[in-house]
Each structure stands twice: as structure tokens, then as C-alpha cells.
Chains A and B, each alone.
Chain A
Amino acid sequence: MHFVVCIKQVPDSLDLKINPETGTLIRSGVMSVMNLYDLHAVEEALRLKDRFGGRVTVITMGPGAAEQSLREAVSMGADQAILISNPALGGADTLATSLVLAEAIRKLDADEPVDLVFVGKQTSDSDTAQVGPGIATRLGFTQLTYVMQIDSVDFAQRQIQVRRLLEDRIEVVRGRLPALVAVLKEINHPRRASLPGLLRAARVEIPVWSHETIGLAREDVGLQGSPTQVAKVFAPPSRPPGELLSEGTNGAAAAEALVGRLAERGLLEDIWRG
């Protein structure tokens, strides 16, 4: 049994500081952490390993500092970690990212067939939830997103059954292995690393792969391999200066004025239409 987890290191939102003058994010000195959902993905892979045996490999595409999150996964019990990092990989959009991760998994699969790939539902920085489906599509893996629980896995029959938590329902889905599972926070409680785990993680060698290691050309990856680019960054449309509706404590007058304004904009109807 071979489980692969794709993780991402993201800025720690608690550490985000906004420059009070310009309103922009201050990126220097910001701590990075493993994306929260990925922590649950690592935990789920480890639980399957606890149950069925096998190995857990954790991979990430990112800058050198991303090694830290890989070590965190190792400290929890992952067997090996691989950092995919080199300058050419920078500027990748989700399509280029899923290419690199899919090819890395293909390479891992050649040594030891991969049964399940785990990813977190989405990342806290870009929040798009696209990379998982991208990887599944490229590898031809069964795609199972928004998974809140794995009911059962039958490696002999090559089947997995999961529960997906959607807007207003829970779907029980049976899928064929190999599969990609995008997990929700609800799926588990990540374990705390043991002391030996922590020490092992600090000492372990983490190989660094480049795009060449996984057989990709420079044009395939990073900015060059991304169909989308950020064309511009601008300040969000500023609200026109607020209209002061009524001073003092005359609540009724203020209420009247406000309801009038909102009705004029059609906002109330919009809201009540449900």
C-alpha cells in the first residue's frame, strides 16, 4: 500500500500584518505553515497506514522553506518526503502545478504503485480547490472531493467508499482505486508528533527534485507552463464615500432613510427573494 500526500506551505494567516498606510500585506517575516487542510490529508493517509500498513510519501512543490512543512509531516509519521523545487517552477498556476505534482506521482508510482493520493480541500492562500481535480484528471485517478469520511477501503477489490459533504447533503460514493481524495477538516483530528517522530523529522534527508528529475522541460512548468497570468493588481473598488443618514439617536428616522435607500437599489428585494 502506497499513499501519497500533496501538501502546500502557506503564509500563516495569524501572522499576516497589513501595512496601515497602504493597506497591503506585509510579506516579510511572515511565518509559513502547512496548509491546514493538508494537515488533515496527512493525518488521513497516516490513519490508513496505521490500519492497512504500507507507506506514506509526502510531496510538495514550493520554495526551499517548504521543507519545513514536509518535516512536519514526517514528524507525524510519514515515511518519506520529497521537495520539488527549483527556480523554473516559480510562477506556476494551478494547471502547471498539477502537471508537476502528477508527474512526480507518476515517478513515485513507477517504484511503488500508488493506491491513493490525498490533498486538502483547498489552500488558505489561493483557495481555489483546483489542483486536486487537476492531478486526478492527469493521472486518470478516480476523483473524490469534499470527503468528510472514508467508510472503507478494499485493496483487493480495488474499491473505496467515502462520504462527501456537500451544500445540503451527504453523498455516499463508491470509487475505484487508484483514487485522489480531497479531504475536509471534518475528516479527522491531526495527531501531535511524538518526540521520536519530531527528532526523526529533524534529521531525515529530504531529496530535492527539479522539473528535470521528473522528466519535464522548462517550457512545461512554472510561469511558462501556465496558461493564466496575473495581468494586474489593483486596489479593490473603493466604496463611494458613505452617506450619513441621520445623526443623533432618532432610530426611527434613520431606519426609514436606510430602508428607503436600500429599496432604491433593489437590494432588499434581492435579499428576500431567497
Chain B
Amino acid sequence: MAVDISRSALEGASSMTGGETRFDVAVVGAGPAGTTCALLLARAGLEVALIERGPYPGSKNTFGGVLYRHPLEQIVPRFWERAPIERKVIDKQYWLLTEDSAVKLGHRSRRFAEEPYNTFTVLRAKFDRWYAEQAREAGAMLIPSTVALEAIRDERGRVIGVRTDREQGDLYASVVVAADGVNSLLSRQLGLHGELRPEHVALGVKEVIALGEDRIRERFNLEGDEGADISLLGAVTKGMVGGGFIYTNRDTVSVGVVANADAYRRSGNSPVDLLEEMKAHPLIRPLLEGGQLKEYQAHLIPEGGFDAMPPLCADGLLVVGDAASLVNAAFFEGSNHAILSGQLAAETILEAKSKGDFSAQALAGYERRLRQSVTLRDLKGLRRLPGLLHSHPQYFAIYPELLNEAAHHFLAADGRPKRDKVRGALKAVTARRSPWQLLRDLWDVWRGTNLWP
């Protein structure tokens, strides 16, 4: 058990000595949301405690995954120069898979190969650790290997600190930021939300497979530190709501599959088997050939979206990141929203501090900011999507097949005239889905996603 401790602010920003346990802000969870909040507050001169249950930030966290340029670049400008980045993604693909074929849609751009780049593959154990180090250098007190068990409340029910699992472990703060992830102990303990409902949560399993830089460049057609990001839909989830992914890291690839927890329960599928089959898929296996398994990880992902969000503030408390269910599952976006929420929480706290008021009303500015932000605008727009996907299994079960059938018909070099081919393709589609059903499906997506201007 390595305990990573060092001094907070060197420029005399900290007036605290000895074992003083009173801070301005206590952030629980040193993931992207918590660290962002702690970093910005520390920069503003506040005494911030950043409590992390793992031996180091990132040790207990994982994602697919891809990090977006925005909003991190606002917080650490040109972070790609200093942060432990794996690859700069220039190639994004969507594969709609059947057992033995795929319809692929993708976009590759030289523009993404140049500054300021676009998205990046990272490994959370390395990245989060580096990111939290930035917070520590800015003056935050990182407290690792420590679990925040519950919030401490005063006689009026205001949150005034957290109780940790260490001896004499009560830490006091004017505001507590719950950044403790999908299974937020604090939110649950405070009654902000009950047990996680299976339909609001997805289970992701992932393997990190060593291939070597040469093989990665060769197989994914990349140069230097360029990267690829492939989303897999269809056969890989056996009709369950979810998808698979392949991300290229420096000399490894992250391969995984995510599916709704309730869907797993009802179907009896096992995540491990699903991943094994996905890796053995004829179109995927060649990419992973000769690779050595280095790590296996699993994590829960909140995917209830807008309707599953808990209350975001209380007296002396703010909820950010996965704990606030800010994940946009359909678009595989979570860390960017987490970072943004951390940023907005920090802004709100600074405002509240200047007024000396940390009540729920004073902190409600956070929710207001969030609502205006891209995070909530997207999530709200997509609020019907989770329900839609669950009630429309055909999107995952049937459409990939239909599209592949159609493509097969159209592209077959069988010497038939084009007209016949088109007819054959259409027939293949309408055999499974009548024109009326097709229109209906389209209409439902349009209304359900509410993405159209």
C-alpha cells in the first residue's frame, strides 16, 4: 500500500500546520470531476482536501476510453504536451456488426492530427494520477487510501464535513463535493438517491491487450502517435442495449463491451463471455492477433441519463461527475461532462464563498450553470433515449443485420443489374421490417433523441 503524500502549496498559500482537519472544501473522489473541482479551487487559494479511496487517483477507475479536448483544455491549457496521453485520435469508426460482417461508417481527418487535436486515448491509472498531481501542485491536499464513509451534518442537517475510515477521521469543510462515482456512497447516505436501479446502469468490461507499437500502426493504419477509436454495435451485445469498443493506446489496445445491467439480468448473458466472443469475432480477431492480455477491468457506468439524475445540491453539498449521472451513454461521453461539472461546481463554490453562504440556495447556481451547459442540454435532449432503446430492441438486434443484408445484396458481384440489386436489398430489409415499421422506427428516433435543431 503506497501512500502518496507530499506538501501542499509551496508558496505559503497554506496556513495550516500539523494535523489540522478543517478545510474550505472537501472533494470526495479524485477522478476527473473531483480533481477538476479541487484544482480550480486550489488555484483560487482555497484550502481543499481531495480524498481518494484508492492508493493513488486512477487506481480504482477505468473507462473505455477517450478523453475529449474540451473542456479539459480550458483547465489545463495544452494539456496534451504534459499529460500522459496514449494516442491522438484521428480515425473514428462505427461498425454495425453481424456474426460475420460489418457495415462501417467512419471519419478520418488529417486535421485531427494537428494541434489542437480532437480526442485522445488515455489510461486512467496514469492520467488521473497525473491530473491529481496538478491539483496537488496547485495546493490541494491529496489524501489517498482513505474512504469517505458519510457526510457529517450539523443539527440543522447541513453538511459540514465527511467522516473517513481513518482514526480521528472526521474532516470538516464548508462545502463537500461528492465526486465519488457511479456508486456514490455519499449521495446514497444522504438520501439523494436510492439503490442504483439496474436499468439505469450499464456494466462495462474491458481488457488491455499488448500488441506493440508497430503492430498497432500496421493494423489500424496509423503513423506516429495517431490513434483510432472504433465503436462496435450489433452482434457484439447479442441484442442487448450497449456496444463494444476498441481504442488504440501507445502499445496496447483497450477492448471492451458495455451493456445495460438489467438487460444482462434478463438475458442471462455474461459480460466475460460476451467479451471473449467479441474478441473472437472474425472481423475483430485479426486486429488482436498475437496480443498478450495485460489487464482486465470492469466498471459500472451510469446510463439513466437526465431522468436518473439525483438532486445536485443540498446545504453544504454539491454532486458532480458520475455521481450526478452525467454520462451520455449513447455517445460514450462521460469524462468530459465530469470535468465540466467539476469546473461549474468550482465556480459556484467560489461565488458562494464570497458571500459566505453555502446553503442549497447559494449553491443552486451550480444546477443553473449545468442546465445552460452543453452537458445538460445534450442529456436533456436525449432524455428519452434510454427508454427508447429499451423499448426498441430492434435497433440493436435487427438493424445491424438489416443493414448488412442490404449492403450484401447491393455490393455482391453477381452480375445482376443494379435495379434488381436495389430491389433485392429493399426486399431483404422489408422482409424483417415493413415499410411502415421502418418509418415508425425513424420517427421514434427523431422524437426520442430530440437532436434536430
Contacts and interface: CB of A to CB of B under 8 A. Distances in A.
A and B touch in the complex (CB under 8 A): yes
Interface in B5-52: 5-8, 14, 16-21
Most chain A beta-carbon contacts within 10 A, residue among B2, B141, B166, B292: B2
A198 B2 CA distance: 13
A214 interface: no
Given A203-B7, A203-B14, A20 B169 contact: no
Contacts of B1: 33
B444 interface: no
A75 interface: yes
Interface string A57-73: 00000000001100110
Nearest to B143: A198
A31 interface: yes
B4 interface: yes
What DSSP secondary structure best describes chain B's contact surface? loop
Interface in A199-215: 199-203
A235 interface: no
Interface in B410-435: none
Contact of B5 (A71, A194, A195): A71
Nearest to A32: B2
Interface string B150-165: 0000000000000010
A interface, size bucket: 20 to 34
Contact of B292 (A20, A31, A199): A20
A68 B6 contact: yes
B21 A195 contact: yes
Given A31-B56, A195-B146, A202-B7, 6 more contacts: A71-B3, A72-B3, A194-B19, A195-B171, A203-B8, A203-B17
B354 interface: no
Nearest to A9: B2
A29 B5 contact: no
B277 interface: no
Contacts of B19: 194-197, 199-200
A203 B170 contact: no
Given A20-B292, A68-B5, A199 B141 contact: yes
B429 to A, nearest CB: 47
B6 A67 contact: yes
Interface in A1-41: 12, 20, 29, 31-33
B6 A71 contact: yes
A187 interface: no
Given A200-B18, A203-B8, A203-B14, A195 B167 contact: yes
Nearest to B292: A20
Given A71-B6, A203-B8, A198 B126 contact: no
What DSSP secondary structure best describes chain A's contact surface? helix
Nearest to A65: B6
A20 B166 contact: no
A201 B21 contact: no
A192 B19 CA distance: 15
Contacts of A202: 5-8, 141-142
Contacts of B171: 195
A193 interface: yes
B5 A72 contact: yes
Most chain A beta-carbon contacts within 10 A, residue among B7, B8, B143, B168: B7
Contacts of A196: 18-21, 168
B6 A192 contact: no
B16 A203 contact: yes
Contacts of A195: 19, 21, 143, 146, 164, 166-171
A29 B166 CA distance: 28
B6 A194 contact: no
Interface string A167-200: 0000000000000000000000000111111111
A172 B52 CA distance: 44
A75 B1 CA distance: 14
B406 interface: no
B210 interface: yes
A67 B5 CA distance: 9
Nearest to B1: A33
Interface string B100-135: 000000000000000000000000001000000000
Would you list the 3 A-B pairs with minimal beta carbon distance, nearest first? A196-B19, A194-B167, A200-B19
Contacts of B166: 192-195, 198
Contacts of B210: 20
A193 B21 CA distance: 14
B3 A193 contact: yes
Contacts of B20: 196, 199
Contacts of A71: 3, 5-6
B303 to A, nearest CB: 33
A99 to B, nearest CB: 29
A2 to B, nearest CB: 21
Contacts of A200: 18-19
B332 to A, nearest CB: 27
A239 B5 CA distance: 44
Interface string B43-87: 000000000000010000000000000000000000000000000
Contact of A199 (B2, B21, B126): B21
A123 to B, nearest CB: 16
B232 to A, nearest CB: 27
B83 to A, nearest CB: 14
A181 to B, nearest CB: 24
A71 B8 CA distance: 13
